[in-house]
Amino acid sequence: MMRSVTTLVTLALAVVAPRSAAAFCGFYVAGGDQKMFNDATQVVLMRMGTRTVLAMQNNYQGPPEAFAMVVPVPVVLHEGDVKTLARDVFARVEQMGAPRLVEYWEQDPCAIRASDGDDKLGAVAMSPPAGAMREKANELGVTIEAKFTVGEYQVLILSAKDSTGLGTWLTQQKYHIPDGAEPLLRPYVEGGSKFFVAKVDPAKVVFDGDGRAALSPLRFHYDAEDFSLPIRLGLASSSGTQDLIVNILAPHQRYEVTNYKNVTIPTNIDVGEAVKDKFPAFYAALFDRTIEKNPGAVVTEYAWQATTCDPCPGPALNQGDFATLGADVLTGPRDKPAAYSGGELVLTRLHARYGKTLTDDLRFREAQPIAGGRELMQNGQGGLEEGARVAPQNNFQGRYAIRHPWTGPIRCEHPARKIWGGPPPEIAQQPGFQYTGVKPAVGLAFAPRGEVQLAQVVRRDIPELGITAGATAAAPPLAGSAGSGGGSAMPAAAAPPADRSAGRPRSGCGCATSGSSDGLGGALLLGAGLAVGRRRMRRGRQAARGRAVGHDPRE
């Protein structure tokens, strides 16, 4: 990692945000001593061969004075390598890879149906919709390699001989650097990284009534052998645990991390109807429990061809989206980039949570295709497929279902049960009926913690998480397990006691920060609700089941 930093991530050299604020996937530099924080970040990477394109959307709340972002990059970027984007494409990417809730009704068991010839259960697909500056820099071993303007961003590309000189130069330019930032800069300077400084002109930014600016998303592309994301830089502005969601688009290829444990989110779980109004809170509890059971792991939440989905929470990604995100420069040498058509791109969504003791960045590797979370029968096992398995193509998603069994009369000799679809007319036509369709859990960093006890809402046991359906009391804390799958455990902040006011929203989207008892990752809520007495009675059975969890799909 010290030899080459090959993925862009914004470095925020700002004052530490309040503990309820969300962290940037990196941190800001501010002109002065102002408090400012980022509350929504999305990162989309495109990868083909040695070319990487990174697009990131950022919002910040703070004073309308100029501030800047600093980004470590492996090469000197030029004006043609950087552009601003429209914001709406990020919402579509988030929606496509988000965990989804579906609602099914069992169809009339006596209705005559033609077999579709495969192992589908019959569910109906449901879709909704400079001079002086240079002189001072040179004195400190800092070189201004390039200077240009893109949108509202005034861009400098810097190189530095040592991190102390870089920090001093930023300070002389009136950027306030937090304590502890220089050691985080050091490995990137020693590794030969350049630094992209994008200063924002507030005269070109529209602020809302709350002082929040909608900055144009930025996109960069470059060529490098390694494929990684430097996330350690953000630790300087973190007051606790940070969450990061990374979306990767690549032709025919899923990705996972190489230096931390990989796990897949438990999927194909039927849930009670109460989850309809609390789906983000349900999923937050499920994710927290997964991390509690697999400390430091990176969770795969989605791997699917980007132009298709089943069920679809909205329109699939299209060629225009791919071009916006980087397909127009995905192939070819830097001086003569060639467009890529965007065909057969796989969308991988990875979700990481890490604490201030993090020692390495995220490094990615190609991974085998996996499938799971579909309305398909397990071969010869008489039920829906569970978990993730190696497959010919990527078809994995986090999918959760509310099911309504048939309650009408059965007037045939051989009824066909468990054929699921949309609501029957007699249900759909009832006054006040509201159809869930396909509901994605977006903006998960805003999801309240502590509102859902998993054991009370799931309709089957989740042995990989030690969850028994129907249990009523909170489970005791779990003992952490060591990382596996070729990587190490990602350090995470210790889980504090559950926040008694956990119903209130947290700030953040892609990355979030928390203090000891507040924020996105403050309390790793168990949410299982296991009765102590029942747990003792079932200890042997649950221990046997628990040994099968947290697997790398290739193992």
Give whole-number Cα distances, 85 to 325, 331, 418, in Å: 8, 19, 46
User: Domain boundaries in the chain?
Assistant: 28-546
Q: What is the pLDDT of residue 554?
A: 43
Q: What is the pLDDT of residue 464?
A: 94
Neighbours of 546 (CB within 10 A): 16
Residue type, position 385, single letter? E
Contacts of residue 266, Cβ cutoff 8 Å, sequence gap at least 6: 286, 290, 387, 462, 464, 465
Q: What is the pLDDT of residue 422?
A: 85
Residue 411: burial class (beta carbons within 10 Å; 0-12, 13-18, 19+): exposed
Q: What is the pLDDT along the chain (555 residues), one digit of tens a residue?
A: 333 333 334 343 332 232 222 333 344 555 444 444 443 367 899 999 999 999 987 655 555 455 667 778 888 888 889 998 888 899 899 999 999 999 999 888 887 654 444 444 444 434 333 666 777 677 778 899 999 999 888 888 888 887 778 878 877 776 666 666 677 778 888 888 888 888 878 778 776 666 666 678 889 898 989 998 877 766 655 556 677 889 999 999 999 999 999 999 999 999 999 999 999 999 999 999 999 999 989 999 999 999 999 888 888 899 999 999 999 998 755 555 566 666 689 999 999 877 766 778 889 999 999 999 998 877 555 678 888 999 999 999 999 999 999 988 898 988 988 888 888 888 888 888 877 789 999 888 778 888 999 999 999 999 999 999 987 654 444 433 333 445 566 654 433 334 433 333 333 333 333 333 222 222 222 222 323 333 333 444 444 444 433 444 444
Please, are residues 101 and 120 in contact by the beta-carbon 8 Å criterion? no
d(CA 209, CA 205): 13
E strand intervals along 107-217 = 142-150, 153-160, 175-176, 194-200, 212-214
Please report, in angstroms and rounded to a whole number, the separation of the first and last CA atoms in the chain.
26
Q: What angle, 0 to 180 degrees and rounded to 10, lies between the N-to-C axes of helices 131-139 and 163-172?
A: 150
Please, are residues 134 and 147 in contact by the beta-carbon 8 Å criterion? no
Residue 178 dihedral angles phi and psi, to the nearest 5°: -70, 160
The helix or strand, by DSSP H or E, that contains position 545, with its residue range, turns out to be: helix 532-546
Helix, strand, coil fractions of the chain, as percent rounded to 5: 20, 30, 50
Residue 370 tokens read as: 């996996």
Neighbours of 232 (CB within 10 A): 22
d(CA 56, CA 45): 9
249: helix, coil or strand?
Answer: strand
Residue type, position 388, single letter? A
Q: What is the pLDDT of residue 336?
A: 55
Q: What is the pLDDT of residue 402?
A: 94
Please, are residues 147 and 176 in contact by the beta-carbon 8 Å criterion? no
d(CA 399, CA 269): 7
Q: DSSP secondary-structure letter at 376?
A: B
Residue type, position 158, single letter? L
The helix or strand, by DSSP H or E, that contains position 282, with its residue range, turns out to be: helix 279-293
Kind of pairing between the strands at 100-106 and 153-160: unpaired
